[in-house]
């Protein structure tokens, strides 16, 4: 008999962290805002705009610009993080733009910019996914025309076992067998990928399985986001 794979947290391989929470309209000063939480990871997103792009040389007459700024607050992890931009935050900001752009009707806003500020209040891995989930809701809340929102989650591999939604220990400290692989992904509600990254090693066959696992989980996240947007719409 093969021994059942045990995660440090006690979760089953295909189990996301809990709680999964979403709330829309939490920052009155913003044109749109939202919070997304999964386990101990919490992201806040606020949208400002569309507004005229300044300085003028950055204006694009063909379409608007989505500008995302991802920031992990210095107290979001135990070892205080030095405030200000870093290579990592610049990369995640870009990734966030790429994950959101396919659903955004950005052509409607030539010479304009839509600013999305993502702040990670608490970080226990999966912060880029939580940030994308919050940003998608905040953009919808701001009334920016979108084909749909998007939902983001990571799948991955611990040694040889495929798992969903890695936490910090699994992402950074797990070192048994083949170690860990983290694959953050973003999906439209009809299951199309708008973003995928692979951090670690995985075979083509397992990658396909990981995408399927995440696609299913993204649907669950979408339901939570949709409910939060509906609640604010009814207020
Ligand atoms: N982390 C940290 N300090 C840093 C960067 C990351 O403690 O300077 C932690 C944090 O908990 C983060 C996790 O490492 O959520 C994983 O970071 P990664 O770069 O893989 O991105 P994420 O999984 O958060 O999208």
Which residues have CB under 8 Å from 87's CB, separation 6+? none
Give the pLDDT mean for 97-124.
97
CA of 174 to the centre of ligand 1 (A): 14
CA of 74 to the centre of ligand 1 (A): 12
Task: Name the strand (E) or helix (H) holding 21.
Answer: strand 20-24
CA distances from 47 to 68, 118, 165, 176, 186 (A): 9, 9, 26, 41, 19
Q: Would you say residue 13 lies in a domain? A: no
Q: Would you say residue 5 lies in a domain? A: no
Number of domains in the chain: 1
| pLDDT at residue 123 in the model | 98
Query: Taking 80 as the threshold, does the pLDDT of residue 159 lie above it?
Result: yes
* Ligand 1-lining residues (CB < 6 angstroms): 77, 81, 88, 123-128, 168, 171-172
Among 42, 123, 181, 195, residue to substitute to test ligand 1 (most atoms within 8 Å of Cβ): 123
Closest CA to 102 of 226, 36, 192, 210: 192
Tens-digit pLDDT profile for residues 204-224 = 999 999 999 999 999 999 999
Ligand 1: residue whose CA is nearest its atom 9: 125
Closest atom, ligand 1, to C-alpha of 81: 8
Banded model confidence at residue 3, pLDDT cuts 50, 70, 90: low
| pLDDT at residue 5 in the model | 83
Q: Would you say residue 180 lies in a domain? A: yes
Query: Taking 70 as the threshold, does the pLDDT of residue 99 lie above it?
Result: yes
Among 72, 74, 78, residue to substitute to test ligand 1 (most atoms within 8 Å of Cβ): 72
Tens-digit pLDDT profile for residues 65-82 = 999 999 999 999 999 999
Q: Would you say residue 12 lies in a domain? A: no
Omega within 30 of 0 (cis) for the link into 19: yes
Q: What is the CATH number of the domain that holds 124?
A: 3.30.230.70
Q: Would you say residue 10 lies in a domain? A: no
**Domain residue limits at 94:** 20-234
Which residues have CB under 8 Å from 107's CB, separation 6+? 62, 63, 64
| pLDDT at residue 101 in the model | 98
Q: Would you say residue 224 lies in a domain? A: yes
User: What is the value of pTM for the model shown?
Assistant: 0.98
Mean per-residue pLDDT over the chain, rounded: 96
Q: Would you say residue 69 lies in a domain? A: yes
Query: Taking 60 as the threshold, does the pLDDT of residue 105 lie above it?
Result: yes
Other CB atoms within 10 Å distance of the CB of residue 9: 12
For residues 142 and 47, give the distance between their C-alpha atoms in angstroms, rounded to a whole number: 7
Tokens of 52: 């005229």
Q: Would you say residue 4 lies in a domain? A: no
Closest CA to 109 of 166, 40, 62: 62
Cα torsion 54, 57, 61, 64 to 10°: value is -40
């Amino acid at each position: 008999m093969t021994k059942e794979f045990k995660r440090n947290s006690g979760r089953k391989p295909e189990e996301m962290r809990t709680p999964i929470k979403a709330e829309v309209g939490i920052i009155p000063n913003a044109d749109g805002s939202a919070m997304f939480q999964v386990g101990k990871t919490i992201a806040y997103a606020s949208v400002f705009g569309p507004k005229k792009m300044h300085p003028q040389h950055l204006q694009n007459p063909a379409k608007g610009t989505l500008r995302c700024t991802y920031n992990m607050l210095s107290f979001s992890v135990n070892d205080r993080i030095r405030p200000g931009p870093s290579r990592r935050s610049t990369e995640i900001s870009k990734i966030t733009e790429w994950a959101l752009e396919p659903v955004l009707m950005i052509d409607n806003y030539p010479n304009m910019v839509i600013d999305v500020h993502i702040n990670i209040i608490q970080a226990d891995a999966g912060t880029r996914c939580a940030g994308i989930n919050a940003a998608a809701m905040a953009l919808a809340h701001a009334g920016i025309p979108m084909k749909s929102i998007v939902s983001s989650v990571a799948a991955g591999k611990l040694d040889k076992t495929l798992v969903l939604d890695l936490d910090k220990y699994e992402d950074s400290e797990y070192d048994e067998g083949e170690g860990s692989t983290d694959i953050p992904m973003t999906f439209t509600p009809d299951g199309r990928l708008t973003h995928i990254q692979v951090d670690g090693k995985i075979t083509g066959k397992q990658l396909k399985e990981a995408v399927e696992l995440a696609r299913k989980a993204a649907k669950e996240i979408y339901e939570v986001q949709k409910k939060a947007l509906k609640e604010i719409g009814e207020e």
